[in-house]
Amino acid sequence: MRILYHLPLSPYARKVRLVLSEKRIPFELRVERVWERREEFLGLNPACTVPVLEEENGLVLADSYAICEYLDEAYPDLPLLGRTLGERAEVRRLVAWFDGKFAREVTENLLYEKQMKRLLGRGNPDAAAIRAGYANLKPHLDYLGWLAETRLWLAGNALSLADLAAAAHLSALDYIGDLDWSLNESAKDWYARVKSRPAFRSLLADRVSGVNPPVHYADLDF
């Protein structure tokens, strides 16, 4: 069986889980405590990060960018990167926006400070970073809401990796109770649509020991 090494709150692992599920590719999840730096895992990915995908034929893929591009090439039935060159550029621009800019300005300031720092043994959360994360959330949700208002999906007329990358970050932040959905109604409507897709079910069923999600987390009519 295909194995995906992951951590339940990793937005990058969540993105790959969503891609696999949307494409109906069966896989088995295996939690990898990356902070333990397990020797066998370092052999699979010297960067010692999740996600890592191990295919049934033995091919090992590390890094969510490499994995998602691979999945769209190897399993093209439901294309998630767009069809024309222009569409593909827009999908990838937005994936980079969420995995790069949003990650740096919001996710790392909140999820990393409040959850990962403790696990990695890197000290206490930095209050200034957390404040910055909350402050950056509003303009990002406004941009997302504007995209959702002017297009059917974030990158255009079809669901794409851009939607899944964005939803992966937002769902992880929602789990730790850091998403104020009242900040932007259109962003909330878009998220409700993504969240109600069957591919999202496994993410909503996730529970991390010691961290309980808010009541609305798994509620499709939040």
- Interface residue list for its own copies (CB under 8 A): 45-47, 59, 61-63, 65-67, 69-70, 73-74, 85-86, 88-89, 92-93, 95-97, 100-101, 143
d(CA 47, CA 50): 9
Whichever of 108 and 213 has its CB closer to its own copies, that residue is 108
- The whole-angstrom distance between residue 151's C-alpha and the CA centroid of its chain comes to 21
- Give me the least distance between CB of 111 and its own copies, in Å please: 16
Q: Is the alpha carbon torsion for 70, 83, 86, 92 positive or negative?
A: negative
- Give me the least distance between CB of 92 and its own copies, in Å please: 4
- Give me the least distance between CB of 69 and its own copies, in Å please: 6
- Give me the least distance between CB of 143 and its own copies, in Å please: 7
d(CA 206, CA 203): 5
- Give me the least distance between CB of 97 and its own copies, in Å please: 6
Which amino acid, 202? S
- The answer to whether 30 and 82 have CB atoms below 8 angstroms apart is no
Whichever of 67 and 199 has its CB closer to its own copies, that residue is 67
Whichever of 13 and 95 has its CB closer to its own copies, that residue is 95
Whichever of 26 and 58 has its CB closer to its own copies, that residue is 58
- The answer to whether 91 and 157 have CB atoms below 8 angstroms apart is no
- Give me the least distance between CB of 130 and its own copies, in Å please: 19
Which amino acid, 213? P
Whichever of 161 and 218 has its CB closer to its own copies, that residue is 161
- The answer to whether 5 and 51 have CB atoms below 8 angstroms apart is yes
Whichever of 106 and 218 has its CB closer to its own copies, that residue is 106
Cis, bond preceding 79 (omega within 30 deg of 0): no
CA angle 195, 147, 63 (to 5 degrees): 60
